[in-house]
Structure 1
């Protein structure tokens, strides 16, 4: 096993680095990484282990172009079906306008091992920068990003330790602010509905901030309902029905995203539940489609387009200045949008 390299320089790794770490010649390293020639199993394993520990990604640009960069920015996101990320991509595209850089997108499906594969392939083409959603990565992914020698911008989340630059919001703060608004509205019997959160780190952090703020007010989440898979109106309807049939005393439902929140709101309306008097509702993301409903779901605007644009401008600015790293930390403020479902709870006086 090779000793992992502690890097203070952001220059790209070379075959020489892998050669020195593995103790074999550069020619042998090249043969192993290109899967060419007769190399012993022991030597091959030494080279591959050294490359993996260093975060080395082979350069697929051949010949005279081997030391140059292409005018592409690798953009790595969890999903294209989730309505959140097209707005992020729009912001990135806007930020890269009037210049030679073009975004190219890779999708991870919220799977850490898939992110490793996408990073490996995209970095092998030597893009000019990387924009990647989230700040939680495997050790291999962090090594590749740290060793890339190009601007790396992690987006959407600022609650953690970034590799280089970061642009996003604090999801813990967003959760805390929503909890305070719910408490201020007079609601005390609160349910939470959302995706299972081991891999959705941002939803997990919002929930942590939410429960923390409730605890300070002497409250707790009284019921929870989780699901696997993507966000959907139908799923929101099903989850809301299940929860309110199980816990009819609840007076507020907090959803991890707007789509399931909309589904839940439609179900409540069909049941004749007064909103927000009998029950309050809130989602997260601030999707534009909320404005198309007669009843506007309360939400938290996550500043997605602004995040994408700022990340693209960091990459573009770093390249224009000829710097390999920017190290910028930009935290935007999520905006509470109360809509029509986060008013004050109605207090019903008993009949005389």
Structure 2
């Protein structure tokens, strides 16, 4: 579903804006931002604070360039080790390669402060648009994106307030849908395995949706295991061993991503655990790696390539039409793939349909 609002007029900030906000001359502002000239520490701090608050970013491109923009689209993703994001980048590139625009990307490392630095450098080269992962950013990053005067698209997540345009899924709904599917299959002793969540907001929202839907079905998560750092097969195996050692009676394992789910599946198969009869399991993202496993783990396909396509089309259309933004919201629907590790829904008892816990 796509809902468009009228574009909002914006203009790029100038040295004069920073000068007025800091109470010093434009020449002094210029010296501070170029890190040159004899400026007191107090004045320098006042100028930098005003620039950060406004979201002002110096212009690094040649002053004589007529458009004051380059045909680049900045793309910020959290990680390249996560197999989700290369497919998003492929989708972006497939659309932009038929336009004069060229994507360039940077990594936020799931760190708002680092994202702020990457964004500052990208915007200083005056790109024609920005595609940024997620809805949670530092105040300074949000100020820079609002003040940039270019189309901005946030991707992957709909659970929050976007800066301008947004393309993605509701992770809370995705978690809730998986919980209802697991409960309908008759599983009751459920364990959760995932990343520590202070900075992985999408994983946190899925967990909230998952546990909330289970609670409405009268089920609580029996135990959980969290990890820090990169996800991988080894991590999934170790987490699964630790969780099943503590709670050997668990009958379902829900993982926050497919990589650790694949590791968990391999561990269960090595231990002779019947999957999905004794223990069912599911991951998230629908990565292609799952197709090469002895059993294909249940997962949820979030249409990663389509997210990239849609985001790039918004940017390309805005640039072509000379718009600074579109105010577009694109909500995609994730799809559950039961694979080989999630048994079918339990048959209704006494001829009654199962309760619909929404």
TM-score of Structure 1 vs Structure 2, range by shorter chain: over 0.9
Match of 2:16 in 1: 16
Q: Aligned partners of 2:29, 2:65: CA distance in 1, in Å?
A: 20
Matches within 5 A, 1:74-153: 74-153=74-153
- 1:155 partnered with 2:124: no
Cα displacement (A) at 1:97: 2.2
Distance 1:63 1:218 in 2: 64
**Correspondence 1:61-80 to 2 at 5 A:** 61-65=61-65, 68-80=68-80
CA displacement, residues 308-350 of structure 1 (integer Å, 9 cap, x when unaligned): 1100000000011111011100010000000011104899xxx
CA shift at 1:66, angstroms? 7.3
Partner of 2:259: 259
Q: Answer whether contact 1:300 1:336 (CA < 8 A) is retained.
A: yes
User: Residue deviations 1:130-181, cap 9 Å, x none?
Assistant: 0000000010110011111000000000000000000000000100000000
Scaled by the length of structure 1, the TM-score of the pair is: 0.94
C-alpha distance after superposition, 1:36-73 (max 9, x if no partner): 11112222122111101100000011220275101100
Aligned mates of 1:160, 1:114 — CA distance in 2: 21
Contact 1:189 1:249 (8 Å CA) reproduced: yes
* 1:301 equivalent in structure 2: 301
State the match for 1:289 in structure 2.
289
Q: Are the aligned partners of 1:60 and 1:66 in contact in 2 as well (CA < 8 Å)?
A: no
2:33 aligned partner:
33
Relative to structure 2, which stretch is displaced further, 338-347 or 197-206?
338-347
Q: Secondary structure of the equivalent of 1:149?
A: coil
Secondary structure of the equivalent of 2:75? strand
TM-score, length of structure 2 as denominator length = 0.93
Rounded to whole Å, the distance in 2 between the matches of 1:301 and 1:322 is 34
State which drifts further: 16-25 or 277-286: 16-25
**Alpha-carbon distance in 1 for matches of 2:345, 2:252:** 9
Alpha carbons 1:277, 1:346 under 8 Å: kept = no
Cα distance in 1 between the residues matched to 2:63 and 2:123: 17
Report how far residue 9 of structure 1 moved: 4.4
Asked whether the 8 Å contact 2:184–2:346 carries over to 1, the reply is no
Q: Is the 8 A contact 2:90 2:305 kept in 1?
A: yes
Q: 1:66–1:321: structure 2 CA closer, same or farther, 3 Å change rule?
A: closer
Deviation at 1:293, TM superposition (A): 1.8
Looking at structure 1, the residues matched to 66 and 209 of structure 2 have their Cα atoms a distance apart, in angstroms, of 47
Residue of structure 2 equivalent to 1:235: 235
Q: In the alignment, is residue 203 of structure 1 matched against residue 203 of structure 2? A: yes
CA distance in 2, matches of 1:76, 1:345: 40
Q: Is the 8 A contact 1:74 1:131 kept in 2?
A: yes
Q: How many Å separate the matches in 2 of 1:46 and 1:170? A: 40
Task: Tell me the CA shift for residue 119 of structure 1.
Answer: 0.4
**CA shift at 1:291, angstroms?**
1.3
Map 1:184-195; keep pairs closer than 5 Å: 184-195=184-195
Offset at residue 16 of structure 1 (A): 1.1
Partner of 1:3: none
In structure 2, stretches of 5+ residues that fail to align are 1-7, 348-358
Comparing 303-312 and 16-25, the one that deviates more? 16-25
Partner of 1:55: 55
CA distance in 1 between counterparts of 2:62 and 2:28 reads 18
Distance 1:161 1:287 in 2: 28
Unmatched 5+ stretches in structure 1: 1-7, 348-352
Counterpart CA distance in 1 for 2:47 and 2:66 is 21
